[in-house]
Amino acid sequence: MTSTISMGQYLFKRVAELGIEHIFGVPGDFNLTLLDELFKVHELDWLGVCNELNGAYAADGYARIKGVPGVLVTTYAVGELSAMNGVAGAYAEHAGMIHVVGMPGRAVQEARLMLHHTMEPGMDQTVYVGMAEPIRKTHTILTDEKTMAQEIDRVIEAGVKSKLPVYIYVPMDVVGIPLDASRLEKPLNTKVVNSNSQMEDEVVQSTLELIRKSSKPSILADVLTIRHGGRELARRLANATQFPTYSTPLSKGVFDETDSKYNGVYNGEVSFPGCADSLESSDLVLNVGFLLSDSNTGGFTRKIPNGNLVLLGHDYCQIHDKKFDGIHFLPVLKRIVEEIEKDLKQYGLPKSDTRAKVETPVLSTSTSGPITQSYIWQRIGRFLLPNDIILTESGTAQFGLTDAVFPASTQLITQTFWSSIGYTVGACLGALVASKEAQKQKQKRSSSSTSTSDSPSSRVILIVGDGSLQMTVQEIGSYIRFNFTPIIFVINNDGYAIERAIHGPGMGYNDISMLWDHQAMLGFLGAREGTGIKGRSFACRDVEELERVLGEEEFAGAGCIQMCEIFIAKLDYPWRLSAQIAVSRQKMAQAMALQA
């Protein structure tokens, strides 16, 4: 007799197969029986969040560190709609997500009852399914018992391969339907393969030939290199070729920034002196995993001629002016790296490139006085340790920390493209969970190995502005609830500084409540003597106070949750933000002049 498994358990067993260990979400009456099935799958743990938007942010942050989709479970209408901004951000920046939505039962949907969470009599109860269409790769509504297992597999596989959100809608009455358990014996197909092998061959061979002929080549690895699982391949390519390497604002940390061949963050005209000139003088630029948004290209000021450019992307590759639609860079990059590693001399490696290394300028040598934007970001950079995970909020932080030099093996989470303020507070929870899972796996490997070496744990560091914090602050309570110990830097600059920089520096619409007591925040959210959970808070109004905190061994050790509030003048902005705005204004003025 064929063994069976409930639909709910089948779904979550497939999720666990990907290496996922935690599920984020909020309970609601249309997903409660589904959550019952989740609790029967011992490979997974439920992690309830404060609201669905933060849950989507957390699933996004989890995916960025874990390398597999984060999973979010919400309820019909009010839950799934609350999460949509977070899902859209994951779509824009290719942070994979599986969004599971509990729905009314099939018979109730067919009857079109005026159920709670519907909006009017006789409403089509699948209307919310259509609302999510632009922010997902694919979806399924599990209504047909004969195809449920196949549909679950299809959607999950598509989500893993595309690194885009997918939706699985689960009517209440299908949760316990028995499915064929033997299907679980066949692994999911999650390998990225280009269907047109002839076109892939041409991209590989043409790129290798350009590498062989080049005299001043460079590698520019962008954020989708990381999102689509190509970071280690990019590092292998850099190591084998010894080409100068560059990142973008979104991909900072993709290369070891302490390496002699690393030349900085390329952002068009919004780059440190020498960086753009160095890259743009290349006769070959291998641009891997590109994401050509305004804030990731210095306001569209890249000056790399097509005749010197090879674009290796997630949905097309382009060599000079020839475009290869539907070719994913991952198999291409793998083949290029393996071919080069076989025989360096065949490709003229190493090259006799005489370009000097681009050194990062020191923006401030302050040892006392007010804390400024020019001082704080490179100072935090010097506070970082190898293996740290840093989250920089949409605002001054994401522009400022670009100036820092990261230690080896540092991972950055920022959202410079989608730029939803408050994102990092939720995403930090996901990063904390993923980091904890990674450490647990390291300990398992260490215990089963004769080696005594043990890599250090990752500190998780959140940098958030006072305005952004007010959007999503409640999720810090989840850090405390689940015994996580991040270091939190709150940049207190009296409101929405990034908006002031863009427009209306003195206008009230850029103000926030300044009545909050950040020093009481950790205690209110749970880290206080009465709960037995330790928390430490600091307020730094000048360089001397901040140096004392950053130099303290206990603070650096991250043994408990800690918050450091840093006061910066309201109208002080990072130079990159001001430069980006100036470039954008200039382009707008030029466009308007042409229309006149």
CA distances from 168 to 52, 140, 228, 576 (A): 16, 5, 22, 41
Closest CA to 436 of 14, 95, 65: 65
**CA–CA separation, 166 vs 133, rounded Å?**
10
Amino acid occupying residue 116: H
CB 98 within 8 A of CB 72: yes
Q: Tell me whether residue 466 is annotated as binding.
A: yes
Three-state helix/strand/coil letters over 131-188: HCHHHCCCEEECCCCCCHHHHHHHHHHHHHHHCCCEEEEEEHHHCCCEEEHHHHHCCC
DSSP labels for 329-377? HHHHHHHHHHHHHH-TGGGT-S----PPPPPPPP-----SSB--HHHHH
Q: Tell me whether residue 28 is annotated as binding.
A: no
Its sign, for the CA torsion 69, 191, 133, 171, is negative
**CA–CA separation, 85 vs 397, rounded Å?**
21
Q: Tell me whether residue 194 is annotated as binding.
A: no
Closest CA to 33 of 175, 171, 130: 175
Distance between the two ends of the chain, CA-based, in angstroms? 78
CB 584 within 8 A of CB 503: no
**CA–CA separation, 580 vs 562, rounded Å?**
33
Tokens of 596: 């006149």
CB 59 within 8 A of CB 24: yes
CB 155 within 8 A of CB 101: no
For residue 588, give the H/E element and its range: helix 575-595
Place of tokens 């893993």: 160
For residue 12, give the H/E element and its range: helix 7-17
Q: Where are the alpha helices (DSSP H) in 78-147?
A: 78-82, 84-92, 106-111, 127-131
Contacts by 311-316 with C-beta closer than 8 Å and gap 24+? 311/287, 312/203, 312/207, 312/286, 312/287, 312/288, 313/224, 313/289, 314/94, 314/163, 314/224, 314/228, 314/289
Alpha carbons within 13 A on the beta-carbon side of 478: 25
Q: Is 454 left (phi over 0), alpha (psi -120 to 50) or beta?
A: beta
Binding residues: 466, 493, 495
Binding residues for Mg(2+): 466, 493, 495
